[in-house]
Amino acid sequence: MIERINPKRKSQVGNYASRLPAVTLLSACIVLTIIGLQIPCYAAERSAIGPSRADAMLADYFRAETAKLRDQCLTDIKSLDDWQAKRKLYREQLFEMLGLKPLPEKTDLKPVVTGKVEHEQFTVENIHYQSRPGLYVTGNLYIPKGLEKPAPAILYVCGHARVKKDGVSYGGKTAYQRHPAWFARHGYVCLVIDTLQLGEIEGIHHGTYRYKMWWWNSRGYTPAGVEAWNCIRALDYLETRKEVDAGRFGVTGRSGGGAYSWWISALDDRIKAAVPVAGITDLQNHVVDGCVEGHCDCMYLVNTFGWDYPLVAALVAPRPLLISNSDKDTIFPLDGVIRVHQKVRNIYRLYGAEKSLGLNITEGPHKDTQELRIHAFVWFNRFLKDDSTLIDKPAVPFFEPEQLKVFKELPADEINTKIHESFVPKNQQPVENSAKQHRALLKALREKSFGGWPTQEQAGPLNIRQVFSAEQHGIRLSAFDFTSQPHVRLRLYLAHRSGSERPEKVVLNVPDKQQWTQWLAGMRIGFADELKDETLPDPNEDAFNHIRQTLKGNNSVLAYAIPRGIGLTAWNPDERKQTHIRRRFMLLGQTLDGMRVWDVRRAIQALRQIELLNNVPVALKGQRLTAGIVLYASLFEPDITGLDLWHLPGSHRDGPVFLNVLRYMDIPQAVAIAAERTQVRIYPER
C-alpha cells in the first residue's frame, strides 16, 4: 500500500507517525531505548570509534576489500581446462562492465574521407566514421606508398593529449602522429583515432572525476565502454580496406590509449598482437595507494563482478602481449605493473606461450619516451611481420595539426557530447504485481547492484557494545556500537521517554549529514557529556524542546542508525578527497550509498538482537537520499512494518547511487515492490 501524504496534514499519517515530529530535527542518528535493556558485550572490536579513527578505519576497509578481490583473482585457475571453461564467461562479464551487453547493433559506419595529406613515403587520409548513428570517430589513416599486397594494420589509440587552437580542438591524433607515421614508413597501415574526451568533437570522460555525475554508476556507464566500442568499429572499418591484411591486426597506445588497448585486446580476438603502454596496474595501486586520484573515468570498467586488473590482461592470452611501462610512472606504479605481469604469466604458461608475453620496463616518468616506442616497434615487427630488422628511424611528427583535421564544421547530428545519456540503455519495463518478477529483480539487484555486500558469514557477528546510557529532562538516551562488516564499526543512539513500558514500535531513522548535525544541536542541551565523542555544533534549545515534547507523548522507540561516513565515521571533508573516496567504492564493485544500505540492514538486525525489542515491529524512516537508502534496505530485510519516505527522489539519477540499478529499475519500481511487502507513506516536498 502506498500513501502520498501532504506534510501539512499530519492527521493523514498513521497513528505512530502522527506523533513523530515533522522530519527534519529528528531524522538523526538516535535510537530511543528502554530502561533495563540488556545487550551482550563482545571482546572483539571494543575500541571506541571517533573522528580521529575514521580515516584510519576507511583505509583499513579499502585495504581489506582490495585484498579480497586480489586474492580471488585467477587463483582458482589450476589448468588450461579451468581457464578455457571460464574464459567465455569472463569476456561476457567484461562486455557487461563496459556497458556493451547487449552488444550494440553494428550499424553502417558511413565512413567519409574529408581530405588527404601526402608524404613521400605514405599518404594520410583524414576520415570519420560513425560507430553508432551520430557517434562520430575522427581519425587519420596512414597508408604506405607502393604496397604490393595487403599489409598488417595497427590501431593506434591516443592518450589524453589536448591540441587546441583558438578554441578549436584538433584531437589527440595530431599529438600522437609520430607513431602512425613510423608504422607507415615501415610497411604498416595505421589508423589513429581520437578519444571521446579530447577529439575534434569533445565529449566527457570526467563524469565522476570532475562533474559529480554519480548517476553514471547507477546507469552502469563508463566512457571506457565508448572507447572500446569505437575500437571494435575501427577494426570493422579496417577490414573494409583493400590495403589491409585483416588477419594481422595489432593495437597499441599509451596512458589512456594503453587502457583502450587493453579493452580491445581482451574483447576482440582479431587483435593478433598488443602493446599497451602505461595503461594498466592493479587495484592495490588504484585503491590503496591512491592512483585513482590521477585517472579519469575512461580508465575504469564498472566493476560489477569484482575484478582485479590481471583478469583483463589474462583475456589476451595466448596472443602476443607486451606490457610496457616506465619505472617512475606515478599513476601506473612499477610494483603494480609487475604484479599484473606475474599473474597473467601463469595463464600464458598454461598455454605453453610464455614467449608471447613480454614485460618492458624503461627508465623514466609517465611520458611517451623513445625507449618505450622502440620496444613496441620491435614487438610488432616480430609478431606481425616476422622481421628482426634493426630499428634505425626515430618516430617523429611531420604535419601541422591543421593538416590532419577532419571536420571543417562539426556535424549537427553528433551525439558525442551527450553519449553518456544513451550509451547504456535504461530499463523501460514496468514492474508488475508479480511475485516471480519481484524475486527476479531483487536477485538481479543483489548480484549486479549490491554484489559488493558481504555475506552474513563474511560480515561476522554484530558485536553490539553499549557505550553509555543516561537520563535527562524526561529522556533516556543510550548509545551502542555495532559491526556492520570488518573495519566498519558504527553507532546507534537510542532514546525514549523515561519510564516508558515495552514499546509498541521501533522507528529506525537514517540521517544524512545535515540531519545528524541538527539532531546533535538539540540533544547536546541535555547530553553534552555523553556526546563528547561527537563533533558538536552550537546548541539549539528550540530543537531540544521539540525533541523532548515529541517523546513525551510517544511510546515508540525512535531508532536512528548512523551509516558510514557520517558522524563519528566521517572521513576527510576535503571535497576532492570525498570525490575519490566515492570513486574507490566503485572500483571495488560497490557504491557508498549501496554500502549504506548494508549498514541499515545491519542496524535492523542489531535492533532485533535486543531482548526487549526483538519482537517489536520495526518501521523505517528517511529523508531525501536516505529515503532511498531505507527503501532498498526494506527490500532485503523481512517484516518491515512501514516506510516513511520524506522527499524521496523521483529517480536514481538524483540519487541514491547504486551500481547498475537503472539497468533494471528506478525508484518508482522499487516503491511498487516495497508496497507489496509493507505500508509505504511518501511525503513529497512542500
Per-residue pLDDT tens over the stretch 631-660 = 999 999 999 999 999 999 999 999 999 999
pLDDT in tens, 403-449: 999 999 999 999 999 999 999 998 877 777 788 889 999 999 999 99
- Which of 209, 225, 197 has the alpha carbon at shortest distance from 303? 225
**Confidence band, pLDDT 50/70/90 cuts, at residue 49:** low
412 and 470 co-located in one domain: no
In a domain, 229, yes or no: yes
Given a cut of 90, is residue 623 above it in pLDDT?
A: yes
Residue 507 shares a structural domain with residue 644: yes
Could you tell me which residue, 210 or 2, shows the higher pLDDT? 210
With 0.85 as the threshold, say if the pTM is over it: yes
Q: Which of the pair, 14 or 641, is modelled with greater confidence?
A: 641
Q: How confident is the model at residue 53, as a pLDDT?
A: 84
Phi, then psi, of 76 in degrees rounded to 5: -90, 5
Contacts of 681 (CB under 8 A, 6+ apart): 2, 3, 5, 13, 14, 17, 642, 643, 644, 645
Residues 391 and 465 in one domain: no
State the pLDDT confidence band at 32, using cuts at 50, 70 and 90. Answer: very low
User: Does the residue 437 lie in any domain?
Assistant: no
Residues 126 and 202 in one domain: yes
Same domain, 287 and 392: yes
Cα–Cα distance measured from residue 124 to residue 177, given in angstroms and rounded to the nearest whole number = 10
Cα dist. 576→98, 210, 583 in Å?
Answer: 25, 9, 11
Nearest to 161 by CA among 214, 200, 198: 198
DSSP SS3 for 532: coil
In a domain, 168, yes or no: yes
Domain count along the chain: 2
Helix axes 625-636 and 592-607, enclosed angle (nearest 10): 60
Q: How many helices (H) and strands (E) does the chain have?
A: 19, 20
Residue 349 has pLDDT above 70, yes or no: yes
Same domain, 607 and 665: yes
Asked whether residue 60 is domain-assigned, the answer is: no
User: What mean pLDDT value characterizes the chain?
Assistant: 91
Helical ranges in 357-405 per DSSP H: 370-384
Q: State the Cα–Cα distance between residues 546 and 540, nearest whole angstrom.
A: 10
Q: Beta partners for 508?
A: 559, 620
Residues 472 and 414 in one domain: no
CATH of the domain at 131: 3.40.50.1820
Residues 130 and 278 in one domain: yes
% of the chain residues with pLDDT over 70 = 93
Residues 479, 577 share a domain: yes
pLDDT at 172 over 70: yes
What is the band of 6 on the pLDDT scale with cuts at 50, 70, 90?
Answer: low
- Structural domain contains residue 73: no
State the average pLDDT over residues 6-16. Answer: 39
The pLDDT tens digits of the residues spanning 470-518 come to 999 889 899 999 999 999 999 999 888 888 778 889 999 999 999 999 9
Q: Where are the beta strands (DSSP E) in 460-615?
A: 465-472, 475-485, 488-497, 506-510, 557-561
Nearest-angstrom CA–CA distance, 302 and 313: 16
Residue 450 covered by a domain: no
Range of the domain at 365: 100-421
Q: What is the CA radius of gyration of the chain?
A: 29
Residue 64: inside a domain: no
Q: List the single range of 151-155, 337-341, 388-392 with lowest mean pLDDT.
A: 388-392
Contacts of 183 (CB under 8 A, 6+ apart): 142, 154, 156, 189, 190, 377, 380
Q: What is the mean pLDDT of residues 238-260?
A: 97
pLDDT of residue 363: 96
* Residue 83 counted as domain residue: no
The reply to whether 147 and 210 lie within a common domain is: yes
d(CA 269, CA 249): 9
Please indicate, yes or no, whether residues 15 and 114 belong to a single structural domain of this protein: no
Query: Are 405 and 475 found together in one domain?
Result: no
